[in-house]
Amino acid sequence: MKHSTIAAISTPLGPGGIGIIRISGPEAKDILKRVFIRAEKGSSFHRGESNPFRSHRVYYGKIIDPHKGRLIDEALAIYMKAPKSFTREDVVELQSHSGFVVLDRILNAVIDSGALIAEPGEFTKRAFMNGRIDLSQAEAVIDMINAPCEAAVYMASQQMMGILKESVDEIRSKMISLRAQLEVELEFSDQNETQMGKDALLESIQHEILQKIARLVQNQKEAAIYRDGVLLSIAGLPNVGKSSLLNQLVQKETAIVSEVPGTTRDIVREYLTIRGVPIVLCDTAGLHDSLDPIECLGVQKARKQIQESDNILFVIDASRDLLEEEKVLIESLKTKRTLFLINKIDIADKNRVKKLEGMIQQKWVLPISAKTGKGIDQLKELLLKGIVESDAIKQMDAGIPNLRQRQLLDKAYKQISQCVQDVSKEYTLDRASEKLNDAIDTLGSVCGTREREDLYDTIFSQFCIGK
């Protein structure tokens, strides 16, 4: 299997400018010779055998069906000789016109010439198996493909360059040398003079190992908002302008707006980014006790949505006074990160707006008009400050682990803390050293060694075909 030659369409299916078919493995070049006829000086075409393909050159020619000899498409072909290629194997790329049928016909010609269809992620898996990239870099390729915003692309590119691996390797080597020192200390612990040494060593584990692991774990937590987006729900009584606010924020007429209270029933979702941070914005039904059974269902959905959301925009209508049920809601939302918006200031009495601001007595209160757009820029600023409390990206020079890596870092942290406790309580050397060994192994699997096929299969199966 390892020595097979695989092929796949590497570009999205459907009409497009150019499509790429990628071939990797020992037979890549022979297959190229079978399906591709090169154009040489002038317009005469030659089969590849006469003139060898040189590595990393672009050749113009045509792709033919090797059995029928029929022309499929004109194309460019690149041959990349191992190990200077994406997979470190011989790689051929055929660049043709893009279209479902033409790409499919070329792929069939390539398969007929001896290649096997690649599994999802198999090219990247080979790059990993052949040692060109480590596991964290391979996972970064998945993150890059799925990146929903600029910040996520930046994070994935950082990881592709191997930044996380550098940090983890540094921590791991430090642990290996501290383990050696610890063993020496413990060996001679019955001699009084080494006691200081032992404390200093534990201190060193605390600062140089545990704190650094904790920092990486923290990076993962902070970066989650860039990967998954922030859930932000709009809540309030009926008719206060929630749907108008959603439309204003996304600059589209997504939700129905009307002067009839109880217009919105289902949750309406929209996506926006504020300075690169993806936000999932949810408009909900106006909260109140209704007699209409369908509206009641909408209110139930709204309550559930608000409960699940850490971040709320609570809208108040400034053209009237606060209602009793609104006061209760305001009180109940104090436990969440809520921004209180006093809406409709374009038609409201200025004194009432002031009075409402005073009455709400919360950290974040902002007068706006969802209709005219007044205050919306300030709203975006507040969202950025309130939700992305720290400038997460700048501090992440050490790398940003994904969830799988973070779980392993958490595990290593526990194993090391346990060891520190054991040693300070003077447990046996065997037990402490065993824990440290486990932790060193755990850290090793964060960026992967090439031994665990089963784990890798699950990771690589998340890719799309052709990657």
Ligand X SMILES: Nc1nc2c(ncn2[C@@H]2O[C@H](COP(=O)(O)OP(=O)(O)OP(=O)(O)O)[C@@H](O)[C@H]2O)c(=O)[nH]1
Ligand Y SMILES: Nc1nc2c(c(=O)[nH]1)N(C=O)[C@@H](CNc1ccc(C(=O)N[C@@H](CCC(=O)O)C(=O)O)cc1)CN2
Report the interface residues with ligand X, using CB under 6 A. Answer: 236, 238-244, 257-259, 261-264, 285-286, 343-344, 346-347, 369-371
Helices and strands (H, E) in the chain, number of each type: 16, 14
17, exposed or middle or buried, with CB in 10 Å at 0-12, 13-18, 19+? exposed
Establish whether 276 is an annotated binding residue.
Answer: no
Phi-psi region of 266 (alpha: psi -120 to 50; beta: other; left: phi over 0): beta
Q: Cβ contacts of residue 430 below 8 Å, gap of 6+?
A: none
Please tell me whether residue 84 binds ligand Y under the rule CB under 6 A: yes
Contact 369, 363 (CB under 8 A): no
Q: Of residues 5, 24, 85, 405, which one binds ligand Y by CB under 6 A?
A: 85
- Give how many residues touch ligand Y by CB under 6 A: 8
Residue 239 contacts which entry, ligand X, ligand Y, Mg ion, none (Cβ below 5-8 A, type-dependent): ligand X
247 forms part of the interface with Mg ion (CB under 5 A): no
Q: Is 83 in the site for ligand Y (CB under 6 A)?
A: yes
- Considering only residues 11 through 30, tell me which ones interact with ligand Y, judged by CB under 6 A: 20
Q: How far is the CB of 132 from ligand Y (least distance, A)?
A: 5
240 binds, among ligand Y, Mg ion, ligand X, none (CB under 5 to 8 A by kind): ligand X
Output 5 or 263, the one with its CB closest to ligand X.
263
Question: Sheet of 58-64: strands edge to edge?
Answer: 45-47, 36-39, 58-64, 71-80, 91-98, 16-24, 6-9, 116-117
Closer by beta carbon to ligand Y, 154 or else 364 = 154
Give the up-direction half-sphere exposure of residue 375: CA atoms within 13 A in the CB hemisphere.
Answer: 16
Q: Does 243 bind Mg ion (CB under 5 A)?
A: yes
Q: Using the rule CB under 6 A, is 460 a contact of ligand Y?
A: no
The residue among 140 and 312 lying less far from Mg ion, judged by its C-beta, is 312
Question: Is 283 annotated among the ligand-binding residues?
Answer: yes
266 appears as a binding residue in the annotation: no
Structure tokens at 433: 């050293």
The reply on whether position 405 binds Mg ion by CB under 5 A is: no
Residue of minimal Cβ distance to ligand X: 286
Q: How far is the CB of 415 from Mg ion (least distance, A)?
A: 52
Count other Cβ atoms within 10 Å, centred on residue 141: 21
CB 233 within 8 A of CB 246: no
By CB under 5 A, is residue 343 in contact with Mg ion?
A: no
Instruction: Answer for the pair 220, 406: CB distance below 8 angstroms, yes or no.
Output: yes
Answer yes or no: is 264 a known binding residue: yes
Q: Which two tokens stand for residue 219?
A: 């990076």
Q: Can you tell me which of 220, 264, 305, 415 binds Mg ion, judged by CB under 5 A?
A: 264
Query: If we measure between CA atoms, which residue out of 348, 356, 342 comes closest to residue 319?
Result: 348
Rounded CA-CA distance 75/71 in Å is 11
Q: Which residues bind ligand Y (CB under 6 A)?
A: 20, 80, 83-86, 93, 132
Q: Which residues bind Mg ion (CB under 5 A)?
A: 242-243, 263-264
Binding site members: 22, 93, 132, 239-244, 258-264, 283-286, 467
